[in-house]
Amino acid sequence: MKYPKAHEEFKEFLKDGKHRVTPERFEVLDYALDQKGHFGADELYIEMKKNDSNISRATVYNTIELLANCDLLSKRHFGENKTRYESNFNRKNHDHLICTNCGKIKEFSSTRVEDLVKQISDELGFDNTGYSFNIFGKCTDRSCDKYED
């Protein structure tokens, strides 16, 4: 078992009387945590199929949603019309800079963002459960894959 702690967390989450513990769900969990960076639900499904899994699309979509609900994954939207996910397991909160030239995504953490979210939610009487903060622009200099002088 590759991710015993995550399995344990997920199992706890499922044992609420409304969900069942199934091997398929843990198979999806393992694949999800193995992903590097951000991935889409369909990409994960296709990868599992390539590895001869018997999983169905519906189960992958269903399970990924559960994993996001129990905070093992984060849901992201980077201005495309698809949902992306990324592992939260052993990672701290962060936000994203997206280069509109080369598509690369840089990450940053800042308590200033979290403070601002709390402050604004309070001011406007809003019971905050999450946020999404993306900065779009261009990497400067040679760090950009499509940099041109």
Contacted by 21, from a second copy, DNA, none: CB < 5 to 8 Å by type:
DNA
Residue 104 interacts with which of a second copy, DNA, none, CB < 5 to 8 Å by class: none
When asked if residue 22 is in the footprint of DNA (CB under 7 A), the reply is: yes
User: Applying CB under 8 A, does 91 fall inside the site for a second copy?
Assistant: no
Instruction: Give the up-direction half-sphere exposure of residue 146: CA atoms within 13 A in the CB hemisphere.
Output: 8
Q: Which residues of 60-83 are buried (b: 16+ CB within 10 A; e: fewer)?
A: beebbebbbeeebbbebeeeeeeb
Does residue 93 touch a second copy according to CB under 8 A?
no
- Which residues on adjacent β-strands are paired with residue 95? 108
Question: How much is the CA Rg of the chain, to the nearest whole Å?
Answer: 18
Task: Single out the segment in contact with a second copy by CB under 8 A; choices: 11-19, 42-50, 52-60, 125-133.
Answer: 125-133
Instruction: Mark 105-124 as b/e (b = at least 16 C-beta within 10 Å).
Output: beeeeeeeeeeeeeeeeeee
Is residue 99 at the binding interface for DNA, with CB under 7 A as the rule? no
Using the rule CB under 8 A, is 139 a contact of a second copy?
A: yes
State the minimum distance, in angstroms, from the CB of residue 25 to DNA: 5
Residue located via tokens 């905070």: 71
Pick 93 or 128: Cβ nearer a second copy: 128
| 40 forms part of the interface with DNA (CB under 7 A) | yes
CA 23 to chain centre: 22
Is 34 near a second copy (CB under 8 A)?
Answer: no
